[in-house]
Structures are given as structure tokens and as C-alpha cells.
């Protein structure tokens, strides 16, 4: 498909630089494709009344790590400043990362990260460039590994706010809480699963009282989520893989929900992508562990997701393509036109959208 089909005009002032406070006070645009009243303006706090005790929600329990690192490339007697954005862990000592400026790095180069201080107490956070890929991607082998490497990254790294926020203000202490979801427990993401940012303990208690079950899975979101689709056709776009897992007990619980006529609500496109990666062609959800580079575009038949809660996404992004596959491109165009006209807040810290088809898929 032509990537330009997923473009739209967004006034810059609609890009949210801070989340709603409290989180569940964010606005919620409910979308019922094909219904007489297709669009309804509500609040995230209204979620419990939209679901029943037969339904289940699936959240992404990944936790964002301080994945932005600043360092120097060392080559002989010369050095150059580089910024490193970790995006996928390969093993105990190796990460894939995006480097800027990437042209300053080559295979075999050494990188010294951090400015000393606290990081030095944990050991030198140095790395070797093992390989250089496309679009500024490099493979780094750190001198440290395992928990020691995790601790050094935590000491030297910076929370990786998305470029559309970081380009307008500095990361600060508030972001340490604001950019983690209520469910965050397993470190490994370099971007937040932002639909989960809307939940509060009070909202979760009301959902529990309603009888809506909560299931957890993990997909470690990579920095590739920030990259625009540069290809002109979706067939030519290469997705970066992300690592995740869904256990057998969760899979069995979700299959039981659907067998009993309930709906599986994916909280965010990351949860949706992992559920679809774990599902068989006939819609049975199985255990999953490993990498997925699933790329969902219009024409895809969803197997495991019946409803989708998500934020408002960037134009020409893979996430726009995913929601267009779920609800239909024409529906999504009407949704986004309405959201702009009604001054919804966009992107990671913005408002939410609930795609709630009338019939199960």
C-alpha cells in the first residue's frame, strides 16, 4: 500500500508534552465501526462501563530503561562525541542500538560511555562496535555483562523520551514516573507502551469490581517505534524485531474468555502485536517467547484481539497502519479528523482511543 494513505495534518500544539493528571482523566474517543453512532467522546474513567465480567484486558508489563547514552568514539589518538539509543538486547553483553552520528562509527571502534562519577563505581561502561547496519543501527558488545551491565546502564543512561517531546523540553524528574505504566515490572523497553499510561489504581479497582479480568504479557518496545516509514510502499518497509513473551497460563485464560463469548481487549498496539504473534490462524492463542517483527497492515485478519485501546499515533507510522488494519482506513481517517477538530491531545502523553467493534472478529 502507498504509505501516503496514512498521512494526516496535525497542529503542533496538539502534541502533548505532559500526561493528563490524574492519568485516568485523559479523554477517550470510543469508535464503533459501522454503528449508527460511530464516534463517542468520553473519558478513560468511563472504561469500566464499556466492558462486562466476560471480558479480559491484556497489558504490557515491560518497564522502560534509561536507554539513551552519551559517549565518545575512540580511534587511535582521535575521539568524537556520539549518542547511543539502545533498542534491542541480544544477550548478556550485546545490544542493538541506533547511533548518532552513525557515520562516525565503524566495526571495531571503541566507545567510552558516561562522564565518570557514579558509573565508575560500577565499572567502566565501555563497548566495542561489532557491526554497523542500515539507518544508523549498530551492534555493541559491552565490556560488562548481565546485572553489572544493567546497573551501569541505569547509572549512566537517560530516560529516552520520544523525539517529539525531547525536542521541545528536557527530560526531568517527573518523567521518571510519568513515562512508566502502572504495570511496569520487567525492565527492557526503550519506549513506553503508552496506552498503559492512562491507568491508575482507582481505575483498576473499578475494572476489577466490574469483573474484567487482567492478564499480563511482555513486549520490550524498541526505539524502532520512533522511526518513520521511509519507504513509499508498505511492502518495502522492514520492521525492527522486538522481544517478548506470553506464558501458557495467560494463553489458556484468554482462550477461555473467547470460548465463553467474552472479548479480549488489548491495551496498546504492543499488546496487540504480541497477541497476534502468539495466535494460530484459527484464533487460538499459544505460549510465546522470543522475537517478533510482525507488521500489520490493512488486509490483515486479526486472530486474537477483539477490542483495542491505543493512543493517537504519528502520521505514516506502522502504528497508524495497524489501527487501520483493525478498524478500516476510512474509519481511522474519520477518527483522526474528529480528534483534531475536537482538540484531542496526541502521541505518547496524549489522550486515548478505543476501537470497539460491535461484533467479534
Q: At what angle do helices 318-327 and 329-341 cross, to 10 degrees?
A: 110
Same domain, 221 and 323: yes
Same domain, 229 and 293: yes
Same domain, 95 and 233: no
Q: How would you class 14 by CB atoms within 10 Å of its CB: exposed for 0-12, middle for 13-18, buried for 19 or more?
A: middle
Same domain, 185 and 263: yes
**Cα–Cα distance for residue pair 17/345, rounded to 1 Å:** 9
Cβ–Cβ under 8 Å, residues 198 and 29:
no
Identify whether 165 is part of a domain. no
Same domain, 268 and 201: yes
CATH number, position 146: 2.40.10.240
Same domain, 110 and 185: no
Same domain, 283 and 350: yes
Tens of pLDDT along the chain (361 residues) come to 999 999 999 999 999 999 999 999 999 999 998 888 899 999 999 999 999 999 999 999 999 999 999 999 988 778 889 999 998 889 999 999 999 888 878 889 999 997 644 444 444 689 999 998 877 889 999 999 999 999 999 889 999 999 899 899 999 999 999 999 999 999 999 999 999 999 999 999 999 999 999 999 999 998 766 566 888 999 998 888 899 999 999 999 999 999 999 999 999 999 999 999 999 999 999 999 999 999 999 999 999 999 999 999 999 999 999 999 999 999 999 999 999 999 999 999 999 999 998 644 4
Identify whether 220 is part of a domain. yes
Domain span holding position 114: 68-156
Identify whether 162 is part of a domain. no
Centre a 10 Å sphere on the Cβ of residue 60 and count the other Cβ atoms it contains: 31
Same domain, 36 and 119: no
Q: Where are the beta strands (DSSP E) in 14-117?
A: 27-31, 39-43, 56-60, 62-64, 68-75, 78-89, 94-100, 110-113
Q: How would you class 172 by CB atoms within 10 Å of its CB: exposed for 0-12, middle for 13-18, buried for 19 or more?
A: exposed
**Cα–Cα distance for residue pair 217/249, rounded to 1 Å:** 11
DSSP SS3 for 348: coil
Same domain, 242 and 290: yes
Identify whether 24 is part of a domain. yes
pLDDT for the residue numbered 94: 95
**Cα–Cα distance for residue pair 125/112, rounded to 1 Å:** 7
CATH number, position 198: 3.40.1780.10
* Paired sense of beta strands 27-31 and 352-355, if any: parallel
Identify whether 163 is part of a domain. no
Same domain, 41 and 54: yes
Identify whether 360 is part of a domain. no
Among 63, 139, 135, CA closest to 95? 139
**pTM for the predicted model, two decimal places:** 0.91
| Sequence-separated (6 or more) residues with CB below 8 Å from residue 161 | 171, 175, 179, 348
Domain boundary, last residue among 90, 123, 156: 156
**Cα–Cα distance for residue pair 304/125, rounded to 1 Å:** 42
Identify whether 143 is part of a domain. yes
Among 197, 226, 219, 218, CA closest to 85? 226
**Residue 113, strand partner residues:** 71
Q: Where are the alpha helices (H) located in the chain, listed in sequence order?
A: 118-121, 146-156, 163-166, 173-178, 201-210, 248-259, 269-278, 318-327, 329-341
User: In total, how many domains does the chain have?
Assistant: 2
126's enclosing H/E stretch is strand 126-132
**Cα–Cα distance for residue pair 139/270, rounded to 1 Å:** 24
Among 217, 212, 200, 178, CA closest to 59? 217
Domain boundary, last residue among 125, 156, 187: 156
Same domain, 211 and 331: yes
Cβ–Cβ under 8 Å, residues 303 and 283:
yes
Among 315, 316, 336, CA closest to 327? 336
Identify whether 145 is part of a domain. yes
Domain boundary, last residue among 105, 124, 156: 156
Same domain, 33 and 92: no
Amino acid at each position: 500500500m502507498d504509505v501516503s494513505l496514512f498521512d494526516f495534518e496535525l497542529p503542533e500544539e496538539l502534541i502533548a508534552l505532559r500526561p493528563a493528571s490524574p492519568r485516568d482523566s485523559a479523554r477517550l474517543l470510543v469508535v464503533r465501526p459501522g454503528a449508527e453512532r460511530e464516534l463517542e467522546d468520553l473519558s478513560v474513567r468511563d472504561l469500566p462501563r464499556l466492558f462486562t465480567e466476560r471480558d479480559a484486558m491484556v497489558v504490557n508489563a515491560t518497564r522502560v530503561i534509561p536507554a539513551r547514552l552519551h559517549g565518545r568514539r575512540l580511534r587511535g589518538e582521535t575521539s568524537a562525541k556520539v549518542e547511543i539509543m539502545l533498542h534491542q538486547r541480544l544477550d548478556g553483553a550485546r545490544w542493538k542500538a541506533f547511533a548518532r552520528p552513525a557515520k562516525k562509527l565503524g566495526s571495531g571502534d571503541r566507545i567510552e560511555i558516561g562522564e565518570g562519577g557514579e558509573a565508575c563505581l560500577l565499572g567502566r561502561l565501555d563497548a566495542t562496535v561489532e557491526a554497523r547496519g542500515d539507518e544508523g543501527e549498530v551492534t555493541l558488545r559491552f565490556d560488562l555483562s548481565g546485572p553489572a551491565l544493567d546497573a551501569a546502564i541505569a547509572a549512566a543512561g537517560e530516560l529516552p523520551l520520544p523525539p517529539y517531546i525531547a525536542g521541545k523540553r528536557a527530560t526531568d524528574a517527573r518523567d521518571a514516573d510519568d513515562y512508566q505504566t502502572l504495570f511496569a515490572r520487567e525492565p527492557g523497553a526503550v519506549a513506553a507502551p503508552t496506552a498503559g499510561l492512562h491507568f491508575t489504581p482507582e481505575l483498576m479497582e473499578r475494572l476489577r469490581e466490574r469483573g474484567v479480568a487482567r492478564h499480563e504479557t511482555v513486549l520490550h518496545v524498541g526505539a524502532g517505534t520512533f522511526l518513520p516509514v521511509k519507504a513509499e510502499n508498505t511492502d518495502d518497509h522492514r520492521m525492527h524485531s522486538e522481544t517478548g513473551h506470553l506464558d501458557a497460563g495467560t494463553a489458556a485464560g484468554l482462550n477461555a474468555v473467547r470460548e465463553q463469548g467474552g472479548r479480549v481487549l488489548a491495551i496498546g498496539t504492543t499488546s496487540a502485536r504480541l497477541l497476534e504473534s502468539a495466535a494460530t490462524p484459527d484464533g487460538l492463542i499459544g505460549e510465546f517467547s522470543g522475537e517478533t517483527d510482525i507488521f500489520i497492515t490493512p488486509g490483515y485478519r486479526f486472530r486474537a484481539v477483539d477490542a483495542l485501546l491505543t493512543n493517537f499515533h504519528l502520521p505514516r507510522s506502522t502504528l497508524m497502519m495497524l489501527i487501520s488494519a483493525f478498524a478500516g482506513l476510512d474509519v481511522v481517517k474519520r477518527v483522526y479528523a474528529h480528534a483534531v477538530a475536537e482538540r484531542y491531545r496526541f502521541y505518547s502523553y496524549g489522550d486515548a482511543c478505543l476501537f470497539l467493534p460491535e461484533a467479534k472478529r
